[in-house]
Amino acid sequence: MTQNLTADVLICGGGISGFAAAVSAARLGAKVILVERLPFVGGAAYANLVNPFMLPKLEEKDLIKGIFSEVVSKLKKQNACAHGQLFGQPHIVFDPEKLNEIMLEMLEQAEVKILFYSQVVASIMQGNSLKGVIVQSKLEETKIFALSIVDATGDGDVSFLSGADYEVGRKSDGLCQPATLMFRISAVDKNKMPSREKMNEIFSLGKQKNQIRTPRENFLWFETLKDDEIHVNSTRIQKIDGTSFSDLAKAEIEGRKQVFNLFTFLKENVPGFENSYISRIAPLVGIRESRRIIGEYILTEEDVEDGKKFDDPIAKNNYPIDIHSTNSSSTIFKKLGPGVYYEIPYRCLVPKKIDNLLVAGRAISTTHEALSSTRIMPVCMAIGQAAGIAASICAKKKILPRKLDYSLLRKELLEQNAEIR
């Protein structure tokens, strides 16, 4: 059975960026359909249990506002988030369940039509112009036609299916940043817990004795909103293609092996973990990098480090170059200079070859190195907000995204409280 649907704007992917794109487009009066393969919104923040929000800030000034600030404000009202800092980097710990609830409410208030359990399987093309997509659910196939389409799938699936050019991994060998399976440990006695420095000494000794499976060089954990709980970001699954079902299966299996191995080591060797237990494992392994769609501009590591500014900015960022090694235990964490921030240009959202399509989230046009800075969730939300606004304007005026007058986009970004020059 096949049905046809139409919309002004179609958002493919209900993660952080797709959510922001859908809300921002609908608030401009567009008829918006959001398709998501999972039965919930939130993407990395929910399905992959990515936490906390890493905050781009310049001294005390927030570099990301707009819909992200709105979400944080709603979390605060429900006592569902808390500010923190680690290694000099500010962040916000949040309750993923409350975040999911807030996102769903905002989508419903904006009158976005949501189609869960819907996987995009094909693009409907007319020459180089994307006219719609084919979505497969359990019982039926749906053709969705739209005037503007946003690819917020994370892996650039719609762009790939439409024939857009893309790159994968680093230039030298095509390897991507490793995947991570996040998990949480409860009933931890933090009064007995060693310092982070001592924890890493114990961790290193365990690695020397081949007691620890993860190839990561240290033990990375964050506080949560619960006094006796920690959030662990220390598994590392390398040489994974996030678009390959066989690689993803390997990553899920290896990720769980690393989770149970690491937890057992902590329980047996680290004070404070004697009575602890695993309280939550992310439903899905987290993918840091896969396809990067080649757009009208490719953001580079030099742009990031030099604090480059553009004529068509849609977001500001100063999060460090943060590369988890593709084939070793190391992590590169290069902070930008004092007072330095860079801008992400609108052109990074516009695929070079395909019309009627915009990209949002981590699949935008960057190099491997620049992606390590742009991939964090607040930035992805800002990118999604810009993509949704642009898509709505293009649908209303019946123009191509690459022909959009930036001044129109800028006006609406400012109206929606985005932080741009």
Question: CB of 78 within 8 A of CB of 98?
Answer: yes
For 357, half-sphere exposure in the C-beta direction (CA atoms, 13 angstrom radius) is 36
CATH of the domain at 12: 3.50.50.60
Residues 6+ apart with CB under 8 A from 44: 15, 16, 50, 154, 286, 377
Query: Is residue 255 domain-shared with residue 319, that is, in the same domain?
Result: no
Q: Which domain holds residue 271?
A: 183-281
Query: Is residue 104 domain-shared with residue 247, that is, in the same domain?
Result: no
Helix 377-397 and helix 406-415, axial crossing angle in degrees, nearest 10: 120
Q: Could you say which DSSP state residue 118 is in?
A: -
Residue 187 is assigned to a structural domain of this protein = yes
Query: Is residue 208 domain-shared with residue 78, that is, in the same domain?
Result: no
pLDDT at residue number 394: 99
DSSP string spanning 27-53?
A: TTT--EEEE-SSSSS-GGGTTS---SE
pLDDT at residue number 217: 92
Query: Is residue 233 domain-shared with residue 262, that is, in the same domain?
Result: yes
pLDDT at residue number 139: 83
Residue 178 is assigned to a structural domain of this protein = no
pLDDT at residue number 157: 99
Q: Does an H or E element contain 72, and which?
A: helix 66-77
Query: How far is Cα of residue 67 from the mean position of the Cα atoms in its chain?
Result: 15
- Give the closest residue to 284 by CA, choosing from 224, 240, 326: 240
Query: How far is Cα of residue 141 from the mean position of the Cα atoms in its chain?
Result: 28
Query: Is residue 131 domain-shared with residue 241, that is, in the same domain?
Result: no
Q: Which two tokens stand for residue 232?
A: 């662990």
Residue 420 is assigned to a structural domain of this protein = no
Residue 8 is assigned to a structural domain of this protein = yes
Query: Is residue 236 domain-shared with residue 129, that is, in the same domain?
Result: no
Query: Is residue 236 domain-shared with residue 295, that is, in the same domain?
Result: no
Burial of 296 (0-12, 13-18, 19+ CB in 10 A): middle
Task: Return the number of other C-beta atoms located less than 10 Å from residue 393's C-beta.
Answer: 22
Q: Which two tokens stand for residue 411?
A: 């006006």
Domain count, the chain: 2
Which residues in the chain come in under a pLDDT of 50?
none
pLDDT at residue number 421: 74
Last residue of a domain, one of 257, 281, 305: 281
pLDDT at residue number 2: 82
Query: Is residue 233 domain-shared with residue 309, that is, in the same domain?
Result: no
Query: Is residue 249 domain-shared with residue 339, that is, in the same domain?
Result: no
Residue 177 is assigned to a structural domain of this protein = no
Query: Is residue 38 domain-shared with residue 164, that is, in the same domain?
Result: yes
Last residue of a domain, one of 281, 300, 335: 281
Residue 95 is assigned to a structural domain of this protein = yes
Last residue of a domain, one of 234, 257, 281: 281
Query: Is residue 114 domain-shared with residue 13, that is, in the same domain?
Result: yes
Q: What is the pTM of this model?
A: 0.97
Residue 421 is assigned to a structural domain of this protein = no
E strands present in 187-338: 221-223, 230-232, 277-281, 291-293, 313-317, 321-324, 331-334
Query: Is residue 272 domain-shared with residue 298, that is, in the same domain?
Result: no
Residue 87 is assigned to a structural domain of this protein = yes
